[in-house]
Amino acid sequence: MYVSTKFLSVEQLALSRLLFENSLMFSAFAHLGTPFIADKFFGLFRDDEEKHHGILPFLLLLPFVGALLFAVIYLACADAIRAYYVEQSPLILQYYLLVIPLTAFWIYISVLDAYCRNNSRIAIPNFIREVYLRLANVVLILVFGIGWISFDLLLYLMVASYGLAIVFLFVYIRHLGKWYWRLPDRRILTNPLLLQMLGYGGFTLLGGIGVNLMLFIDRSMLAGERGLVSTGIFIIATYIAGVIEIPRKAIAQISIPLISGALLKNDLAHVQLMNRKSALNQLIAGGLFFLLIWASIDEIFFLIPKGETYGEGKFVVLFIALVKVFDIATGLNTEIILYSKYFRFATLFIICSAILGFSLNLWLIPLYGFTGAAIATALTTLVYSISRMSFVYIKFRVLPFTGKTVQVALMLLFLYALTFLVPDYPKTIVSAMLVLVLRSAGLLAIFAAFIVWARVSEEINGLVEGVWARVTKKY
């Protein structure tokens, strides 16, 4: 984030993110559900001696059809796109066609990643997605900042870096000896199975569309209604707030297999236990992140480049971060629904939330700009969270909250109140960094001490006691 805000203008940052996020959103339906089909049905074809019965060409052909359909539809809508952005964000119109190749690249990155995953190879594909693509963007922005390339060339090279990721995945699959090129085996890929696969892909496609609309539609609407500066402010604010969700992903990955197994056995008591533990630990981690961010939000915006502009989105951070804390505190409701017999309702909730989010953005952005977009996102997420939590309670009698939830929430409020004791001071880079570090260290120390002393989380206390035992044994 620092590199982007340092070397790109607010408009350039917003434009570059819009191109990539819109492409990601479009790829979610242009791939026609192919990655989900691979995950669901690959086991029927898995046989190295038979070259996986020709599933690879099928997995490559289906999204090719989707990419072509998307390109045709996108070009057919070109006049509408130009009309929507010409007044507030005319810069987009110079580059909006880059969305087509970028969408195609995202499609095949997802498909090849799914193929590698189903061949029990995840490390290299994850490295390409999480490290290479991010590093390529940072390096290219640095080169642009030095003045060696123009902004036009920067965008073209960024798009090309995604195409290069596909080349890397192709080479990796060939290196594994898994590049099996043969016609699909019609003894396995029968017409009934083909229809079942396409139907499943279409159904999961709806969920993918809903998720991406919830994540990214606000930026596109903001660019059309208020321009790229407002969009850039909103994007940076949502990135800051998004840090709160980082612990949730790790905790969810640990808990999902346990919840899935308990649901298969209809062991609702264990589902309740795991959901409450996950919700509590997510609240502890996410709540701490929120506390550290919001307590030092003025210092954060003071220290980042162009902070006087991006700082206008301060309350965007507050609205979105607060609702994210509530969302993670409600536990693993989506996972419980997905791995139960009610899995179709997960897609229904997502679609309804996407429609609600679109409607709220349509209403609030013209009135309040990026603050309206933040309110729309916060309300949508709140309704989505409460709906899932209520559904899980009605169907399973499972609730995420306990008395310990209240303890953690009250402690977070108390610690935030303490931050008001810090007097105002003249901000310089040194003083802002010093206050940020000292305040964060103090809050972290007090909160951690409380969590351990009050034995709020069995998992955290077990971890601390294990580390302490190893340290005392060693010394």
Q: What number is the average pLDDT over the span 197-214?
A: 78
Burial of 243 (0-12, 13-18, 19+ CB in 10 A): middle
Q: What number is the average pLDDT over the span 42-68?
A: 80
Selected residue with higher pLDDT from 47 and 386: 386
In SS3 terms, the chain reads as: CHHHHHHCCHHHHHHHHHHHHHHHHHHHHHCCCHHHHHHHHHHHHCCHHHHHHHHHHHHHHHHHHHHHHHHHHHHHCHHHHHHHHCCCCHHHHHCHHHHHHHHHHHHHHHHHHHHHHHCCCCHHHHHHHHHHHHHHHHHHHHHHHHCCCCHHHHHHHHHHHHHHHHHHHHHHHHHHCCCCCCCCCCCCCCHHHHHHHHHHHHHHHHHHHHHHHHHHHHHHHHHHHHCHHHHHHHHHHHHHHHHHHHHHHHHHHHHHHHHHHHHHCCCHHHHHHHHHHHHHHHHHHHHHHHHHHHHCHHHHHHHCCCHHHHHHHHHHHHHHHHHHHHHHHCCCHHHHHHCCCCCHHHHHHHHHHHHHHHHHHHHHHHHHHHHHHHHHHHHHHHHHHHHHHHHHHHHHCCCCCCHHHHHHHHHHHHHHHHHHHCCCCCCCHHHHHHHHHHHHHHHHHHHHHHHHHCCCCHHHHHHHHHHHHHHHHHC
**Least confident piece of the model among 153-167, 242-256, 324-338:** 242-256
Task: List, for residues 218-247, the tens digit of each pLDDT value.
Answer: 888 898 889 999 999 999 999 999 889 888
The pLDDT assigned to 129 comes to 85
Q: What number is the average pLDDT over the span 68-96?
A: 92
Task: List, for residues 62-71, the tens digit of each pLDDT value.
Answer: 999 999 999 9
Task: List, for residues 138-181, the tens digit of each pLDDT value.
Answer: 999 999 999 899 999 999 999 999 999 999 999 998 888 878 77
The pLDDT assigned to 135 comes to 94
Task: List, for residues 128-149, the tens digit of each pLDDT value.
Answer: 888 899 999 999 999 999 989 9
Task: List, for residues 392-415, the tens digit of each pLDDT value.
Answer: 999 998 889 999 999 999 999 999
* Overall pTM > 0.75: yes
**Least confident piece of the model among 249-263, 319-333, 391-405, 407-421:** 249-263
